[in-house]
Amino acid sequence: MFVLLRALGLFVLTAVAEIVGCYLPYLWLREGKSPLLLVPATMSLGAFAWLLTLHPTGASRTYAAYGGVYIAAALMWLWAVEGERPSVWDIVGALVALAGMAIIVLAPRR
């Protein structure tokens, strides 16, 4: 159980690092904010790459499973940071993606 909770926590931290790393340049390019936002964005994307190395399985499988968590985290970011409530279809899509992530993570391995 601890391994599963650790993996979920790593997935969430990884998603937040990637979202922040991409959102800050968005603010600079689309919203006219300071280009100094590129400094923490770069650090955040570096943290994202580092966090991927902490996952216990191979990089490709980790990244595939992480995608489901990323989708759910991005929708939570949409709501919490951008103030736009996800639609029912957004939530259904995130649940389907999380189900796919669970299949990848929980599948029996040799």
Residue 24 has a pLDDT of: 97
Whose tokens are 């190395």? That residue is 53
Residue 108 has a pLDDT of: 86
Give 1-40 pLDDT, tens digit per residue.
777 788 888 889 999 999 999 999 999 999 999 999 999 9
**pLDDT value at 82 more than 80:** yes
Rounded-to-integer distance, Cα 110 and Cα 105, Å: 13
Domain spans, the chain:
2-106
**pLDDT value at 93 more than 80:** yes
40, 97 contact by CB (below 8 A): no
Amino acid at 55: H
